[in-house]
Amino acid sequence: MMVRARARAQINIALVKYWGKRDTSLNLPEAGSLSLTLDGLGTTTTVVFDDDAPRDTLTINEEAQQGSALTKATRVLDALRERAGLRSHATITSHNSVPTSAGLASSASGLAALTQAAAVAAGLNLSREALSATARLGSGSACRSLFGGFAEWSPGKHADGHDSHAHELFGPDHWDLHVLVAILARGPKSISSTEGMEHTRRTSPFHAGFIATVSQDLQEAKAAIAARDLMSLAPVAERSCLRMHADMLAADPPLCYLQPASWAIIHRVQTLRKEGVQAFFSADAGPNVKVFCTPEEVPMLHAELEAMPGVKEIIICRPGHGAEVLDPIP
């Protein structure tokens, strides 16, 4: 027997950051987080369950994957196989329109697309919340990419993690926030988020302080998003980002994902906002910087970023939709 399905999911950028797990095997976070799913940057994945396949395989952009990428995919597949009573192995073929492992959340869109495609191929009709909890097993941030627009990941209370999934706060049409993604480096990062996060949790004396700030940030971010108030969202998102980076920098040995060119953009955006420009920055486990802004500010910010040293490319994104099934072909 052979069944296949194809799905697409897009990356999400956290406005209130996830950095720290209470359970590493189930990717259960210590605190909540909140993100915006972006359009145009994501992953399309085909999953084929085949009784004759000797093992699970994964290719991303035509390259066969081993190690952690395959392990993450297998965790999702195992959970779905168990639910569906399925024993066959899967052949997973993924294409990223986002640079792989460059701090641009390709694992979030990848694991979200895989979960959606594999669930359909396995004949499961799961709620988006159940898909989100399953995608979380592969990569924590992937649970937010099941949803479009603004999504919040509730950490949950249960040890098995069934209540640790994302939900939609506001759909992509709620607020036409634009994001300019300034690409400073395309190669894979030297230390993955998974490793960096656990290293930080274990060794940073600032970690408990970072975690303690999250619930206040979530509350303020949600109010600012509900009111479509960029100037109120800006300080919350920037401090969540910088506190996460401060936490990483305080690890032993320290983790420093941001480059001088990243800091130059951060400073420029802060200066521009003081001058009244509706924009703020965010950055994750890599050097690339994302600049959130109103649509009116896009041309000016694009010109500003283009002139900054080290900027290789600028990708302009808008709020995007959640994971979607493309063709559940038998």
Binding mask 222-261 for ligand DP6 (x = CB under 6 A): ----------------------------------------
Chosen residue from 33, 93, 134, 288 binding ligand DP6 by CB under 6 A? 33
3-state class of 38 per DSSP?
strand
What secondary structure does DSSP assign to 89-144, as a single string?
Answer: EEEEEEEESS-TTSSS-HHHHHHHHHHHHHHHHTT----HHHHHHHHHHH-GGGGG
Both structure tokens of 66: 């081993």
17 near ligand DP6, judged by CB under 6 A: yes
Q: Which is nearer to ligand DP6, 5 or 197 (CB)?
A: 197
Q: Which is nearer to ligand DP6, 3 or 258 (CB)?
A: 258
Contact 288, 187 (CB under 8 A): no
Closest listed residue to residue 287, CA positions, set 316, 264, 321, 318: 264
Q: Which is nearer to ligand DP6, 3 or 58 (CB)?
A: 58
Closest listed residue to residue 96, CA positions, set 136, 135, 41, 145: 41
Binding mask 36-75 for ligand DP6 (x = CB under 6 A): ----------------------------------------
Closest listed residue to residue 164, CA positions, set 193, 119, 194, 132: 132
Segment lying near ligand DP6 (by CB under 6 A), choices 12-20, 162-170, 287-295, 308-316 = 12-20
284 near ligand DP6, judged by CB under 6 A: yes
Chosen residue from 6, 9, 18, 115 binding ligand DP6 by CB under 6 A? 18
CB of 62 to ligand DP6, least distance (A): 23
Give, in order, the Cα–Cα distances in Å from 104 to each of 75, 288, 290, 327: 22, 8, 9, 26
Both structure tokens of 201: 């949790």
Segment lying near ligand DP6 (by CB under 6 A), choices 2-10, 74-82, 162-170, 190-198 = 190-198
14 near ligand DP6, judged by CB under 6 A: yes
First CA to last CA across the chain, in angstroms? 10
Tell whether omega for the bond before 253 is within 30 degrees of 0, i.e. cis. Answer: yes
- Total residues at interface with ligand DP6 (CB under 6 A): 15
285 near ligand DP6, judged by CB under 6 A: yes
Site residues for ligand DP6 per CB under 6 A: 14, 17-19, 27, 33, 107, 139-141, 193-194, 197, 284-285
